[in-house]
Amino acid sequence: MLNESPQIRHFFDGEWLEWYGFMKVASLLLSQKKNFSCLRSSRILSTIHQAQNEIDIFFLIEKQPLWIECKSGEFRDSINKYQALRKRIGIDSDSALLLVAGLDDEKAASMSSMFNLTIVNEHTLLKRVEKVLNKS
């Protein structure tokens, strides 16, 4: 039986994927000796749009932004929200990643071509991050 602690339940309800994404990308950046800073589970407030959003992971890699949202369950209902937020914060679709646990590689690629976000899974995350790094 799963422990009833709110912190433990929150972790297994999806926070584990945020930690996974953060640790994988940070390890890659450290191994490549990249200068970076990072925010995790941060709230941003838009005074213009009167909206508050949570950002799962945001890296600034040698002045290049990389935003990663993580979903371990249903994600399709969030795509429009993430597309609008991507536009508001001014990040191109190559640097705005939606990490979806367990999503098939082909489905991730086809959905990326349909939306203004790059959709990846736990197997394709680092390949996509490397493409972003090589682009800058």
Tokens 């039986």 belong to which residue?
1
Q: Of how many residues is the chain composed?
A: 136
| Cβ pair 126, 102 in contact under 8 A | no
- In this prediction the pTM is 0.84
Question: Using one digit for the tens of pLDDT, what is the confidence trace for 102-133?
Answer: 999 999 999 998 988 999 999 999 999 999 99
- Residue (of 33, 29, 31) closest to 66 by Cα position: 29
- Topology (CATH level 3) of domain 6-135: Trna Endonuclease; Chain: A, domain 1 (3.40.1350)
pLDDT for 78 equals 86
pLDDT surpassing 60 at residue 1: no
Take residue 73 and report the two structure tokens written for it: 């369950």
Interatomic CA distance for residues 27 and 101, integer angstroms: 19
Question: Using one digit for the tens of pLDDT, what is the confidence trace for 45-65?
Answer: 666 666 678 899 999 999 999
